[in-house]
Amino acid sequence: MFINPEETTSERMSEPKQEGITAKKGQDFDEWYTQAIIKSEFADYSPVSGCLVYRPSGYAIWEKIRDATDLEFKKAGIQNAYFPLFIPERLLRKEQEHVKGFAPEVAWVTEAGDSKLEERLAVRPTSETIIYEVVRKWIRSWRDLPLRLNLWNNVVRWEFKHPTPFLRGREFLWNEGHTMFATREEADAEREQIMGIYRKITEEFLALPGLMGKKTDSEKFAGALASYSIEHLMPNGKAIQGPDFHSDGQNFAKAFDLAFVDQKGERQLVWQNTWAITTREIGVMIATHGDDKGPVLPPRVAPIQAVIVPIVNEQTRPAVLEVAMKLRDDLSASFSIKVDERDYVTPGRKFNEWELRGVPLRIEVGPRDIAQNQVVLARRDTGAKRPAKIPDIKAEVGKELDDIQRNLLALARERLASNVRSAGTYEELKALISSAGGIVQAPWCGAGACEEKVKQETGAKVINMPLDQNGTPGPCVACGAAGHVIANFAKSY
């Protein structure tokens, strides 16, 4: 907002108020979600359909996710690198299952200026092919392994018609992990480590629980032997895939001749994995924790953890602002703090705006508070307010932020648990999917025909299969044959 310094305070206060959320989350989730994304100023639409503008507040959330995840990667000994955005067509076609899986999604560059390119260039849908074409020159012997690389970049996938901000976009941000090992055992052991990192980030930072499991063959990554995922549940009852991990085996190694000489002097192919977390998590977080006022941000990923709102009039403004600035200085070493010192906006409007932006904690301070050597702390998650003594402010703010973080995760876990149900028959499965939604756990024989039958007749698919399969499953929910696994069925994005 641009302010004319010649305007009077009364003129500034008469400008239109920022409109809040007009849709109810429980009544019209899609409209509520769109308003929550846009009116909170986390994102905006661009002139290119499906390509989102990350406004500073929204991008700051991604930076929090990225930095926390990157720290865990570095602890694990993974190094960051960068590879080009453009991939020659000949490389993309080297692994046929891979290119077949991505063919409908690829955006191509065919011209540069007025000249036709001799070879089409794919705009990075994922980086396997260009990475492996290059790193095969880096690997000669077993001493060069493991090679564990990570990329923080953007990708473009153009296959769908109805993009949703953060949740499904034609361009999005993510990490790409690409690792190479001498043995399958080493490669397989990485899965637990990487999925553990993703679980830590989703739960401890985003306060987002999920169901971890193995994807079916029809849902696995193109070119992989097996894929694994954390699946979240949205408030509208649909599941959505979160971070994932792919055991790629030696498929890409064969296509790109990724070989090394082992300790016996024999030539071997490497074993590979790939894995990712994306900006989709921002949308899932907003959808999961938000309320009718807008987003509610977990403190660990909030760009502003607490906002100080002075309650003043013309006479008390200097004294109150002095205290507010002192509070900011005392807190800023430990927390992300902002003072809202705008003199042309009423306190009530400030409260509404910061609630709309999802700031976890509001610190109110006025003349009467100063007289009692205290402030008022107001939580975004519960709306609860309580006084806190100024000498204890650092400890009190830390206590509230920690409790907000715990509370958001606890509530999300309760919602997930209450929306995971079991079915023993096909009729039970269909009834639960059509009436209650959510995730239905049921026995499955593993046959693709049964998976497709459920998808066609109920709209639900196998989102993944729990890694912990306790006991012997009953008969397949779709065909009645012996069950092979318990599968998680749900409608999904």
Among 1, 15, 21, CA closest to 352: 21
Task: Give CA–CA dist 399/407, Å, rounded.
Answer: 12
Q: What is the pLDDT of residue 1?
A: 25
Task: Give CA–CA dist 36/400, Å, rounded.
Answer: 24
Task: Give CA–CA dist 19/103, Å, rounded.
Answer: 43
Task: Give CA–CA dist 448/476, Å, rounded.
Answer: 12
Q: Which two tokens stand for residue 91?
A: 């490389």
Q: What is the DSSP letter of 202?
A: I
3-state secondary structure of 388: strand
Task: Give CA–CA dist 476/423, Å, rounded.
Answer: 11
Each residue's pLDDT tens digit in the chain (493 positions)? 222 333 333 333 334 445 799 999 999 999 999 999 999 999 999 999 999 999 999 999 999 999 999 999 999 999 999 999 999 999 988 877 766 767 788 999 999 999 999 999 999 999 999 999 999 999 999 999 999 999 999 999 987 778 899 999 999 999 999 999 999 999 999 999 999 999 999 999 999 999 999 999 999 988 899 999 999 999 999 999 999 999 999 999 999 999 999 999 999 999 999 999 999 999 999 999 999 999 999 999 999 999 999 999 999 999 999 999 999 999 999 999 999 999 999 999 999 999 999 999 999 999 999 999 999 999 999 999 999 999 999 999 999 999 999 999 999 999 999 999 999 999 999 999 999 889 999 999 999 999 999 999 999 999 999 999 987 899 999 999 999 999 999 999 9
Q: What is the pLDDT of residue 222?
A: 85
Spell out a b/e string for 376-390, using b for 16 or more CB atoms within 10 Å of the CB, else e: bbbbbbeeeeeebeb
Q: What is the pLDDT of residue 87?
A: 95
The answer to whether the beta carbons of residues 43 and 33 sit under 8 Å apart is no
Helix (H) or strand (E) holding 308: strand 306-310
Q: Which two tokens stand for residue 339?
A: 């003072």
Task: Give CA–CA dist 227/195, Å, rounded.
Answer: 11
Beta bridge mates, 378: 362, 385
Domains of the chain: 29-289 (3.30.930.10), 304-400 (3.40.50.800), 420-490 (3.30.110.30)
Residue type, 102: F
Q: What is the pLDDT of residue 384?
A: 98
Question: What length does the chain have?
Answer: 493
Q: What is the 3-state secondary structure (H, E, C) of 2-50?
A: CCCCCCCHHHHHCCCCCCCCCCCCCCCHHHHHHHHHHHCCCEEECCCCC
User: Is the torsion defined by CA of 437, 442, 446, 447 positive or negative?
Assistant: negative
Q: What is the pLDDT of residue 391?
A: 97
Side-chain half-sphere CA neighbours of 210 within 13 A: 35
Task: Give CA–CA dist 267/260, Å, rounded.
Answer: 6
Q: Is 81 exposed, middle or buried (0-12, 13-18, 19+ CB in 10 A)?
A: middle
Q: What is the DSSP letter of 303?
A: S
